[in-house]
Amino acid sequence: MQGSIERIRAASQIVARVLAEMGRVVQPGVTTAELDAIAEQMIRDHGGRPAFKGYRGFPASICTSIDEEVVHGIPGARALKAGDIVGIDVGVEFQGWYGDAARTFAVGKVSPEASHLIRVTEEALERGLAQARAGNWVGDISHAVQSHVERHGFSVVRDLVGHGIGREMHEDPAVPNFGSPGKGPRLAAGQVLAIEPMVNAGGRAVETRPDGWTVVTKDGRWSAHFEHTVAVGPDGPEILSVLADE
């Protein structure tokens, strides 16, 4: 079991390096296609494969979701502008194992509401991760995320959920960002999950654009997304997608 965790960690460390680089290069004027090219080159330079590219026909190596786009935005010619927020989701397959993480970045100076949305979403992820301990339940993670988000007047997306991860990008169990403590599957030491709050500034309703991928808020309000790959430990979480030297 520990060997599996170390293999997932190796994939997740590539993800973490890519997201760190995205934080350095996200700035006004950069196109999402340029971000995608940088990410793909980094993944391949580290011996990995972009897990999203070709997955069910997805055409790019990363997902770039701007402002009202929740997740699964397709990189292209659109240039980032000051005041935007952009969620970047990265998946890597390395030697047959997968890692997955996401982060929402502010592009230059953003509004107080956008900054608050980003902060609350990251805090919700931290609270969800803290519940990833053996003997807890998936619902403990879900409730920790939902309660923090709603306490701040935001809403969690219910149409999309986190997931198990390992030999496949998406494995059981599903990890919703809403629910009741003590419900759902019980967590066991050595399980690996991708926990990923998707938080809307307005209502929770979403829809998919005609491209078949990009999920957006129905009310046009902005959305943020954070994700980590985490191993369930006997005494708490072991976050695999944080850079080891951080």
Phi/psi at 69 (5° precision): -80, 125
Mean pLDDT of the chain: 97
Q: Which fold has domain 2-239?
A: Creatine Amidinohydrolase (3.90.230)
In the block, residue with structure tokens 């019980």: 186
Amino acid identity of residue 166, one-letter, is G
Over the Cα atoms of the chain, what is R_g? 17
Q: Taking the chain, what is the end-to-end CA distance rounded to the nearest angstrom?
A: 25
SS3 string, 58-100, reads: CCCCEEEEECCEEECCCCCCCECCCCCEEEEEEEEEECCEEEE
What is the pLDDT averaged over residues 215-236? 97
Question: Which carries the bigger pLDDT value, residue 220 or residue 246?
Answer: 220
State residue 32's pLDDT score: 98
State residue 246's pLDDT score: 52
Residue 2 — pLDDT band, cuts 50, 70, 90?
A: low
In the block, residue with structure tokens 């879900």: 142
The pTM assigned to this predicted structure is 0.96
Query: Residues 239, 242, 244, 245: is their CA dihedral positive or negative?
Result: negative
Phi/psi at 57 (5° precision): 90, 5
What is the pLDDT averaged over residues 18-24? 98
What is the pLDDT averaged over residues 216-226? 98
Q: Which tens digits make up the pLDDT trace of 39-96?
A: 999 999 999 999 999 999 999 999 999 999 999 999 999 999 999 999 999 999 999 9
Residue 244 — pLDDT band, cuts 50, 70, 90?
A: confident
Cβ atoms 224, 86 nearer than 8 A: no
Q: Which tens digits make up the pLDDT trace of 135-194?
A: 999 999 999 999 999 999 999 999 999 999 999 999 999 999 999 999 999 999 999 999
